[in-house]
Amino acid sequence: MHDPWLRGSANRWVPSPQPAGVYQLSVRDLLHDNYKAWNIVKVRNLFSRDVAEKILETPLVSSVREDKVVWDEERNGCYSVKSGYKVAMRYLIGSDKYHVMGNWNGIWKAQAPHKARHLLWRLCRGCLPTRSRLLERRVECTLNCPVCDEEIEDELHIFFRCAVAQDSWSAAGLSSVLHNATYQQTNAMDRIFAICSNESSDTVGRVAMLLWCIWQNRNDKLWNDNVQMPRQIGRHAFDAWNDWYSVHKLHSNNVSGTTEEDLVRWEKPALDWIKCNVDVAFVTGSGRTSMGLCFRDNSGHFMVGMTQWQQTVISSVEGEA
């Protein structure tokens, strides 16, 4: 009882305190000795009502002879670095220490290349290495903006208040957004969230692309001493977004126009292999789960099939496993 084995996506641990001796029990100790079924009386005597019901709702499939440890974040039950990273990030984002309130969905729904949306995210998380941000991290550097060399460089200045940035907004056809009274917050993060909340996803995408071009120009000036005119920055952002949008829209139309010929079709297994296809169905209100299996050889010929049902409701993942 010292492992997280309870069914469901919520807490899988058997809560403490537990009756004397329960901690040393294994799951098999909760089954009948002579057949594979829960010992209902024993389970309800040992555990609280909610825990007991969770245990009794766990299906016991007679054809499964040996249990195995599975990773719940993947459909195949196997751990992957990607899913492990997602779990870690879910924990961090859910923590008050790391969580930042804001319209994050508005950023990720923006119609823009991922690099531009990622820049918005970095900006709102305070991850961009502006000179004022570097000084906060105890990095010794000059504070003036590398583009205009007139004011201290922070996120609000480089993207909104720098003369080069403001002219770039105009050249990109976004001056009405820049000067909108609704978006005059005192920090860049709040301005971005306000734009995401009040503008269309297309406009947010155009803003994201412009900010990416402004940041690229800033870095090119800093590291290569190359600088573009504001109208070039704005025009590049305008053209880059339109090109991306045209390709993205064409791709979306192609996907929506998928024909029957484009669908994934059944394929024969390799030589000397047998393929088993499984399907699961649920009968609403009956508390019953039905399943069917079909075996075919490498020629695609039917070999054998079977059906069975369980007097319990299990998920499609559990049933097809």
| Mean pLDDT score of the chain | 87
Phi/psi for 60 (5° steps) reads: -115, 100
- Are 186 and 157 within one domain? yes
- Are 177 and 242 within one domain? yes
Q: Are 219 and 254 in contact (CB under 8 A)?
A: no
Does a structural domain hold residue 244? Answer: yes
- Are 145 and 239 within one domain? yes
pLDDT at 311 over 80: no
Average pLDDT value for residue range 102-113: 95
- Spell out the residues 6+ positions from residue 211 whose beta carbon is closer than 8 angstroms to its own: 116, 119, 120, 123, 159
Comparing 89 with 106, the larger pLDDT belongs to 106
- Are 284 and 219 within one domain? no
**Predicted pLDDT at 207:** 98
Q: Where residue 316 falls among pLDDT bands split at 50, 70, 90? A: low
Average pLDDT value for residue range 19-34: 81
- Are 134 and 239 within one domain? yes
Pairing of strands 288-296, 302-310: antiparallel
Which tens digits make up the pLDDT trace of 244-297?
Answer: 999 988 777 666 555 555 567 888 999 889 999 988 887 666 777 888 899 999
Average pLDDT value for residue range 201-214: 98
Coil/strand/helix, residue 38:
strand
Does a structural domain hold residue 288? Answer: yes
**Predicted pLDDT at 63:** 72
- Spell out the residues 6+ positions from residue 194 whose beta carbon is closer than 8 angstroms to its own: 182, 183, 185
Within 10 angstroms of residue 233's Cβ, the number of other Cβ atoms is: 24
Residue 289 region by backbone torsions, left for phi larger than 0, else alpha for psi between -120 and 50, else beta: beta
- Distance CA(279)–CA(316), nearest Å, equals 8
Tokens 């799951």 sit on residue: 27
Does a structural domain hold residue 45? Answer: no
- Distance CA(110)–CA(203), nearest Å, equals 8
- Are 146 and 279 within one domain? no
- Distance CA(82)–CA(84), nearest Å, equals 5
Does a structural domain hold residue 41? Answer: no
Alpha helix segments (H runs only) across 47-98: 49-56, 81-94
CA proximity to 209, closest of 118, 280, 275: 118
pLDDT at 160 over 60: yes
Q: H or E element: which one contains 163?
A: helix 163-171
Q: Where residue 162 falls among pLDDT bands split at 50, 70, 90? A: very high
Q: Are 205 and 217 in contact (CB under 8 A)?
A: no
Q: Which two tokens mark 199?
A: 């503008």
CA proximity to 203, closest of 166, 230, 241: 241
- Are 153 and 293 within one domain? no
| Range picked from 1-10, 51-60, 139-148 for highest mean pLDDT | 139-148
Q: Which of 225, 254, 283 is the last residue of a domain?
A: 254
Comparing 287 with 40, the larger pLDDT belongs to 40
- Are 117 and 223 within one domain? yes
Q: H or E element: which one contains 310?
A: strand 302-310
- Are 108 and 247 within one domain? yes
- Are 245 and 282 within one domain? no
Does a structural domain hold residue 108? Answer: yes
Does a structural domain hold residue 29? Answer: no
- Are 216 and 288 within one domain? no
Does a structural domain hold residue 88? Answer: no
Tokens 């075919």 sit on residue: 296
Residue 66 DSSP code? S
Average pLDDT value for residue range 155-172: 97
**Predicted pLDDT at 171:** 97
Residue 224 CA, distance from chain mean position? 36
Domain region containing 295: 275-320
Q: Which two tokens mark 49?
A: 């009502």
Domain count, the chain: 2
Does a structural domain hold residue 64? Answer: no
- Are 182 and 304 within one domain? no
Pairing of strands 275-283, 288-296: antiparallel
**Predicted pLDDT at 62:** 75
